[in-house]
Amino acid sequence: MSLVTAFAQDEMAVFGDRGSITLGSQVQYDSNAGAGVQPTARLMWKALPRQRLWAAVSRALRTPSLQDRGIRATLPPTPTDSGLPLVLVTQGNPAAQTESLADLEAGYRLDIGSSAWIGATGFVGRYGQLQTQEVAAPVVQFFPSPQITVTSQFANLLTARTRGLEVDGHWSPTAFWHLDGSYTAFHLTPDLAAASQDPVAGFTDGNAARTQWQLRSAFQAGTRATLNVSLFHVGRLERLQVGAYTRADVNAEWRITSHVSAAAIVQNLFDVAHTEYAGAESILMSTQVARSASLRLRWAFK
């Protein structure tokens, strides 16, 4: 295989020092997927001394992997009522296409004095040629042994539209205390081609939560002690049937000397254990993230 890639970018000032336009693109060619162009254009405008407006339009690509094109996986036989075992086979597609994303974003940021700021970003996107698994009709085989074989092959018959909003901010009540927070709303609408035989691709949610938020506090007591508290909330993963959860982590550190520090760490404070990924619609086994506590001693050599 061979890979050739190049990147060029130029930033130009407009309206004096009040704005800038950035134009750039990555151009790539590989012997597996051919040529691809990923351009971006970005505008930044300083509306007022403490305000910023910006917008961007970009295109991104995901080229097919060797697995997408050449994998062949056969699952162990499963008994059926017919008496013949069922064998599921997944295979790649030598003609797998490059997946694409066209994305438009716009944002605003307001600086509130020297100790706080708040920003908001909205985005819409369109994905093309997303991967599907096209299921063929069952076939009864008698060699090397009687069985029912169902084969699915990768194809690119799914598109999707996304939209979302993110709001984030920062506030420093004192020089020793910093607060950060963010909230994200995300929505995905899949569109399965009429020719597709994939039974589930049209119901995908991208394994992404519709809402997430987080709060982080960092407090420094003098020059030796720091206390970090983080609170995260992730909404339900509908497709994987993973419930929403809120997670709290605490990290308290004491610098004994300039080279030695000790820390007490507690993670997942609210739950004995919870699931963050996998679930009913995944072949991966769910891993329970358990509550944990630890002590750490660090010695830095300089």
What would the DSSP string read from start to end of 169-238?
Answer: EEEEEETTEEEEEEEEEEEEEEEE-TT---SSGGG--TT--SEEEEEEEEEEETTTEEEEEEEEEE--BT
- pTM score of the predicted model: 0.83
Residue 227 forms part of a structural domain:
yes
H-only helix segments in 41-135: 66-70
Range of the domain at 259: 205-302
pLDDT digits (tens, 9 = 90+) for 112-137: 988 999 999 999 999 999 999 999 99
Tens-place pLDDT, residues 208-225: 999 999 999 999 988 899
What digits encode the pLDDT tens for the residues 153-201?
A: 999 999 999 999 999 999 999 999 999 999 999 999 999 999 999 988 8
Task: Write down the pLDDT at residue 290.
Answer: 92
Confidence of residue 144 (pLDDT cuts 50, 70, 90): confident
Residue whose structure tokens are 């090397």: 144
80 assigned to some structural domain? no
Ranked by mean pLDDT, which of 8-17, 20-29, 66-75 comes out on top?
A: 20-29
Determine the 3-state secondary structure of 63 from DSSP.
coil
pLDDT band at 60 (very low <50, low <70, confident <90, very high): very high
Question: Is 286 a member of any domain?
Answer: yes
Alpha-carbon distance values, 140 to 87, 135, 187 (Å): 10, 15, 42
143 in any annotated domain: no
* Distance from C-alpha of 150 to C-alpha of 74, rounded to nearest angstrom: 10
Residue 187 forms part of a structural domain:
no
DSSP β-bridge partners for residue 262: 254, 297
Give pLDDT, residue 281: 66
- 285 pLDDT exceeds 80? no
Query: What pLDDT does 145 receive?
Result: 84
pLDDT, average across residues 237-252: 92
Give a yes or no: residue 157 inside a domain: no
Residue 192 lies in a domain: no
What per-residue confidence (pLDDT) applies to 223? Answer: 85
Asked if residues 190 and 204 have their Cβ atoms less than 8 Å apart, the reply is: yes
Q: Is the pLDDT of residue 83 over 80?
A: yes
Q: Identify the residue with better confidence: 300 or 104.
A: 104
Number of compact structural domains in the chain: 1
Residue bearing tokens 């991104």: 60
Residue 223 inside a domain? The answer is yes
Between residues 21 and 200, the one the model is more confident about: 21
φ/ψ of residue 118, rounded to 5: -140, 145
Average pLDDT taken over every residue of the chain? 93
